Amino acid sequence: MAHRHHHHTHTEGILTLDALAARSGLRGVSPGLKMVFSVGSLLLCVGAADPVVGAAVACSMAAIIWLLSKVPLDRLLRLLRLPLVFLSVGCLVILLEFTRNPIGLWQLHLGGRWLCVTVQSLERAVTLLFQAMGAVCCLFFLSTSTPMPQLIEVLRKCRLPELMIELMYLIYRYLFVLLEVQRQMTVAASARLGYDGWRRSLTTAGKISGGLLASSFRRSSACFDAMEARGYEGRLTFLCRTPKLRWPHVLAAAVYFMLLTLLILIRKRGIAL
Amino acid sequence: MTEPILQLEHVSYTYPDGPLAVEDLSVSIEKGERVAVLGRNGAGKSTFFLLCNGILEPSAGTIRCGGKVLTRNKKDLTELRRRVGIVFQEAENQILAVTVEGEVSFGPMNLGLPLSEVERRTAEALDRMGLGEYGDRSPQYLSGGEKKRVTIADILAMEPDVILLDEPTASLDPENVVRLEETLDQLTQAGIALVVSTHDVDFAARFARRGLVFSRGKLVADGSLESIFSRQELLEEAGLRKPWLWQAAEALRPGEASYPMTMEQFTRWRETAG
């Protein structure tokens, strides 16, 4: 049962981001601009290495995702939960120091040694937490507002090799086809008690992976026939209309970058407002 | 008399590792015609389709397209693939692109048309299949019936003379079968010849007058559906049954040469004597 649950959440993860992007309030904004905006903010956030800047980026991005990209708040919080848990655990390790003598802000005696939190370790952990959350929010902004096909078209414009572009299209397409096959096989297997107990779950999952590979091979030749039937001659091209670059959007992104840079300067130079 | 659109003459095909898949096949398809292709799984129907479109190269025999003998050179093949389209049984195997618009544009793009022409054809094909609003949708969020219409739009955008549909009714619910039949009528009105393979003889009877019956790689019958369903030994050989209405009518008045196959014909038949 636990395993089935795991499968489901995993499937939903990919589908959720994809569905959110398809319905996003920002789907009419140029994907190139969104990519520059997201990656630019990410670099500033990571480069600044400052908790206030990180928190500002994380909060502003979350607000943009919620208010402009129109992702429901509960969905957004659920999306953020996973990286937050992961980062918290990671930062906890950095927060705690193992020493011979009790030092710093907080200590715990542990069999002759001391588990301590120092000012430096606290600062390091908090900085890392916010820095990373800011970066995660930047990427979530991109993935919840930009449908994958548009993203691939941007990469094509960036002169990525044609082969990689075609592979990305095919992988993206067949991800959903194979997920559906996998889901059906999993349901069929659990209907025959294939997920009864840990050991059997493992064997069943292995068999399903094998079955998936076999069915992929069979499918690939059928797909190739279908491609040839429509005159495929070795170049995969589709009509793809991506939203155009609009000046108000560029202006908005520029203002955001300027405010962010200002904040970084204030923090680094200690300029008081 | 005008030339048939597609003509196969004594065509045979053997799969590399198997027995003869299609043997000595001669058949011709006229403009705007409707033909039902019947027979068991593995009888050669799908091979016949792949041969018609040039995916498979005949080991013997010739294929003519609009009267012209086809060679295996690239220009002829492109021409054949433009004029003869296949709608595959599994929409998932045919749908390739990640948006509906991109998907439908794949064929015209491969024909090397100018971009404005590709856009026009794509928009027109989507409109004709009632998919005008679906352009930027992803195929994974479409229903089975919608996917089927996308695969037909795929072929329509290439502006073909013949469309071969491989078991189009399989995996469609009754409501979508009705829609499909309307779509097929619309295509016939547009002058496109339709060749449909199916296991559903009742659907075949509603759809076509002419039938082709395949059995063990051979075309064992080519004629009116009435003549096919009145030959008991042929039905047994090809593993077919008679349409339900035919069976019902036969039970009512045994001994007649042929019986009605569609509801319309049945009503008329009941009114004539009896």
Please tell me the distance from the alpha carbon of residue A185 to that of residue A204, in angstroms, as a whole number. 10
Average pLDDT over residues B203-215: 93
Average pLDDT over residues B241-257: 90
Check if the beta carbon of residue B166 is closer than 8 Å to that of residue B45: yes
Write out the two tokens for A219: 């499918």
Q: Confidence class of residue A10 from pLDDT cuts 50, 70 and 90? A: very low
Residue entry with tokens 């300067």? A265
3-class DSSP state for residue A118? Answer: coil
The answer, as to whether pTM is greater than 0.95, is no
Please tell me the distance from the alpha carbon of residue B269 to that of residue A14, in angstroms, as a whole number. 58
Please tell me the distance from the alpha carbon of residue B3 to that of residue B66, in angstroms, as a whole number. 6
Determine the residue of chain A that is closest to B123 in CA distance: A239
Q: How distant is the Cα of B98 from the closest Cα of chain A, in angstroms?
A: 6
CB neighbourhood size of A7 (10 A): 18
| Residue B193, CA distances (Å) to B5, B29, B32, B186 in order | 9, 8, 4, 11
Instruction: Please tell me the predicted confidence (pLDDT) of residue A13.
Output: 58
Backbone dihedral angles phi then psi of residue A32, each to the nearest 5 degrees: -65, -45
Sequence-distant (≥ 6) Cβ neighbours of residue B182 within 8 angstroms: none
For residue B103, the chain A residues in CB contact (below 8 A) are 238
Q: Is B154 on the interface with A (CB under 8 A)?
A: yes
Please tell me the distance from the alpha carbon of residue B254 to that of residue B258, in angstroms, as a whole number. 10
pLDDT in tens, A224-254: 999 999 988 888 888 887 888 999 999 999 9
Instruction: Please tell me the predicted confidence (pLDDT) of residue A42.
Output: 95
Q: Confidence class of residue A12 from pLDDT cuts 50, 70 and 90? A: low
Backbone dihedral angles phi then psi of residue B46, each to the nearest 5 degrees: -65, -40
Q: How distant is the Cα of B1 from the closest Cα of chain A, in angstroms?
A: 30
pLDDT in tens, A85-115: 999 999 988 888 888 877 778 888 888 888 8
Q: How distant is the Cα of A40 from the closest Cα of chain B, in angstroms?
A: 27
> Radius of gyration of chain A from Cα atoms?
24
Alpha helices in chain A (DSSP H): 2-23, 31-48, 51-63, 73-95, 119-145, 148-157, 162-191, 198-229, 247-269
Instruction: Please tell me the predicted confidence (pLDDT) of residue A1.
Output: 36
Partner residue opposite A149 with nearest CB, options B82, B92, B102:
B102
Q: Is A184 exposed, middle or buried (CB count within 10 Å of its CB: 0-12, 13-18, 19+)? A: exposed
Backbone dihedral angles phi then psi of residue B24, each to the nearest 5 degrees: 45, 60
Partner residue opposite A238 with nearest CB, options B86, B109, B155:
B109
